[in-house]
Chain A
């Protein structure tokens, strides 16, 4: 079965640089979520999109922005990178048939971002 695809899998950036992470949800899934997992930490919710509209927002820094496109893929843009942004970034997708009800989230393999 098709899974969530994330690219790139690994990314190395310098401080103050910009990074773009991409997420391709499972086909027919309409909701995308982004999570950040720091070293030895549990995943923390950043932001989510349903039908290309932002549906919820967590502890996402103002330096980060995200969007969901017409083909339902999503991109997380990170600017002015800091050392503390080094983490594993997960994308998850789900199918929300009625908009308000959210089904199981399936996670991608993650993008490991290292900021030097």
Chain B
């Protein structure tokens, strides 16, 4: 079955430290991959997406993600975290021709000052 897995439910980092959030997918073909961020009580904001081409994609707010086909991964990174980055982060995917997003269970990021 097609699935998206985020192994880390909670992550705590200090402000200014680097961040990596993990995402793995299980699809027959390479899916279209997304990272969304959700602040408490808010909607889902698109951070970045990967459709094809360069495996390192840049997003908003200083985030980037790297697609690694051999590891079926699409990890999200940020070199220096800000307190305002505290939120829940969802990795999501769909396959070409299908149009429903499958989400991972999310990673709750806490930033310590």
B99, CB-defined interface residue at 8 Å: yes
B97, CB-defined interface residue at 8 Å: yes
| C-alpha spacing A109/B102, complex, angstroms | 19
Chain B interface, DSSP helix/strand/loop, else mixed: loop
Q: How far is the CB of B4 from chain A (nearest CB, A)?
A: 9
Tell me how many residues of B have a C-beta within 8 Å of chain A.
22
Q: How far is the CB of A69 from chain B (nearest CB, A)?
A: 19
Of the residues A35, A42, A90, contact of B104 by C-beta under 8 Å: A42
Which residues of chain B are near A33, meaning CB under 8 Å?
A: 99-101
- Of A14-22, A70-78, A79-87, A100-108, the segment with at least 4 beta carbons within 8 Å of chain B is A100-108
| C-alpha spacing A41/B90, complex, angstroms | 11
Question: A104 contacts B49, CB within 8 Å?
Answer: yes
Tell me how many residues of A have a C-beta within 8 Å of chain B.
28
Interface residues of B in 32-82 (CB under 8 A from A): 34, 36, 41-46, 49
A68, CB-defined interface residue at 8 Å: no
A: residues with CB less than 8 A from B are 31, 33, 35, 41-45, 48, 50, 55-56, 58, 90, 92, 94, 96, 100-102, 104-110, 112
List 10 interface pairs A-B (beta carbons < 8 Å), by A numbering.
Answer: A33-B100, A33-B101, A41-B105, A50-B99, A55-B99, A92-B44, A100-B97, A102-B97, A107-B44, A110-B43
